[in-house]
Amino acid sequence: MKTNIVILLGLTMIFASACKSKSAALVEDDNTIQIAIEVAEQHCGGAELSETEFEELTKLKPFSNGVIYISTMVNPETFENEVKVNLDKGGIAKLNLDSGLYVVSFYSLVPPPVEEETKDDKETKPKMEAGDNPNPPAGDQMSPEMQKKDCEIRWKRMSAMPFKVVGGKKAYMLPINKECNPCEPPRP
């Protein structure tokens, strides 16, 4: 019985030291940077605010315990390698990023992967006939749901904060304005 306890304690200590060394490696890595996010918000309708409340709302403050998304910026409309980052109570996170151009957003910018069609999907999908338009309607011919979805995608891309990771720089402070969603009607 004592042997089992000693073996169990030994395995627990090995596991605990492995976990500790892994987190220490994150801190010592050459690509580890610290990002501090400060946020100011807009008043998006609803009850009228006093001058003091408005100043407090629009003042920069740490994005405590917030969630952000960091993506590699390919161009202003294309983002890759998105990472969801949880910030601590000071609005700070440590992560490994290579030198390059990134964006920080409150929203996911990378669409989920498209699932492949199954055989059942292909059988139930209506077949194209001669003369059918293979392209969905565009512009003002879109359904209201598609227009809202398109608006939301464009708004999320425009509200993303670009930043450049430079070799040798270890700390970044990013002030971000959390804007009202122009795709939603204003609150009464």
Q: Per residue in 70-115, pLDDT tens?
A: 999 998 888 999 999 999 999 999 999 999 999 999 999 987 776 6
Question: How is residue 113 annotated by DSSP?
Answer: P
Handedness of CA 11, 17, 18, 20 (dihedral sign): positive
Domain contains 60: yes
Q: Is 6 inside a domain boundary?
A: no
Q: Can you spell out the DSSP letters for 128-139?
A: PPTT--SSPP-G
Q: pLDDT by residue (tens digit) across 27-55?
A: 447 789 999 999 998 888 888 889 999 89
* CATH number for position 170: 2.60.40.1120
- Does 130 reside within a domain? no
Domain count, the chain: 1
- Residue 117: inside a domain: no
The amino acid at residue 27 is V
Cα 32–chain centre separation: 18
For residue 11, being part of any structural domain is answered with no
Average pLDDT, the chain: 78
* Domain assignment present for 120: no
Place of tokens 């964006």: 103
Q: Is residue 132 part of a domain?
A: no
Question: What pTM, to 2 d.p., does this model score?
Answer: 0.68
Range of the domain at 39: 31-111+139-179
